[in-house]
Amino acid sequence: MGSKQQNIVILTGAGISAESGIQTFRASDGLWHNHSIEEVATPEGFAANPSLVHRFYNERRKQLHDTDVHPNAAHHALAKLEREYDGKVVVVTQNVDNLHERAGSRNLIHMHGQLDKARCNNTLRSYQWLNDLDESSVCECCSKAGNLRPHIVWFGEMPFLMDQIQQMLEDCDLFISIGTSGQVYPAAGFSKHAQICGARTVELNLDDSETSATFDQSIKGLASSIVPEFVEQLLAVK
Ligand code: APR
């Protein structure tokens, strides 16, 4: 398992939030099963039909206030790792929910954006946004309706903080991927990049992903059980 001062980068995807009651994207009953990606998750879709796109993300945002939706044992385990591990731990999430931060993770990058924020298309300023968003919503920066969009990275857009992530992948000793199908780039390429730069790579996922075979180690199971177990192993190393 190595020494206790390793530099760890953890990539998470929808699978880590599945047991908290948030749908994944590509399961047979997943989010993309009922929706057209082009209509609700591209800049072109937003330009063509903003109210449809707002409705789609308003529904998702409402889930963040759902009293049944809580961080699960996997989110809590990663927050504990950040608190108690001697080395550096950063979580890079593709998820737009707020479950990592609710569990206590602080060294966290939301590379695909955040449901609980809106962004002005004009000034690019982002705002905490917990209510419904629509075409009449007014941003503080322009005091004008119609400029705000969900703070979400859509298909065809560049994920956030890629330079910083790239550097972290090059510097890490251990790369861990949790609950992601490995179908969406650039995140799907992170493990290979980290591995080429010398990191050990471990995948924790329910099923085989597109990239399972390329990891040094692949552990199958529910995130709520395999993530806490793996974290305890890391913390047990002296
Ligand atoms: N525990 C562990 N893994 C799980 C669990 C669970 N309880 N439930 C599902 N999984 C796994 C699935 O086996 C699958 O491999 O999580 C993965 C989820 O895959 P996707 O639905 O494709 O989600 P993700 O990989 O996060 O999608 C990447 O694509 O749609 C875009 O921008 C969106 O961020 C998203 C990106």
pLDDT one digit per residue (tens) for the chain, 238 residues: 556 679 999 999 999 999 999 999 888 888 888 889 999 999 999 999 999 999 999 999 999 988 899 999 999 999 999 999 999 999 999 999 999 999 999 999 999 999 999 999 999 999 999 999 999 999 999 999 999 999 999 999 999 999 999 999 999 999 999 999 999 999 999 999 999 999 999 999 999 999 999 999 999 999 999 999 999 999 998 6
Write b or e for each residue in 16-46: b if 16 or more Cβ atoms lie within 10 A of its Cβ, otherwise e. Answer: bbbbbebbbbebeeebeeeeeeeebbbeebb
How far does residue 44's CA lie from ligand 1's centre (Å)?
24
Task: Classify the C-alpha dihedral 227-155-48-124 as positive or negative.
Answer: positive
Of all protein residues, the one whose alpha carbon is nearest to atom 30 of ligand 1 is 25
Going from the Cα of 107 to the center of ligand 1, the distance in angstroms, rounded, reads 21
Atom in ligand 1 nearest the alpha carbon of residue 187: 28
Q: Which of 54, 76, 112, 151 is catalytic?
A: 112
Residue nearest to atom 16 of ligand 1 (CA): 15
Helix (H, G, I), strand (E, B) or coil at 108: strand
For the chain, the 3-state helix, strand and coil shares in percent, each to the nearest 5, are 35, 20, 45
Q: Which domains does the chain have, with CATH numbers?
A: 1-22+69-112+159-238 (3.40.50.1220), 31-67+114-152 (3.30.1600.10)
Q: What token pair was written down for 110? A: 């939301």
Using CA positions, which residue lies closest to atom 14 of ligand 1? 181
Nearest atom, ligand 1, residue 209 CA: 15
Q: Are 122 and 133 in contact (CB under 8 A)?
A: no
In this structure, the residue with its CA closest to atom 7 of ligand 1 is 222
Helices (H), 30-116: 31-34, 37-40, 43-48, 50-63, 73-84, 99-103
112 catalytic residue (yes or no): yes
The ipTM of this complex is 0.99
Separation of CA 15 and ligand 1 centre (Å) = 4
Compute CA 188 distance to the chain's CA centroid, rounded to the nearest angstrom. 12
CA 32 to ligand 1: nearest atom: 30
CA distance 229 to 234: 9
- Cβ atoms of residues 211 and 188 within 8 Å: yes
Three-state DSSP at 112 gives coil
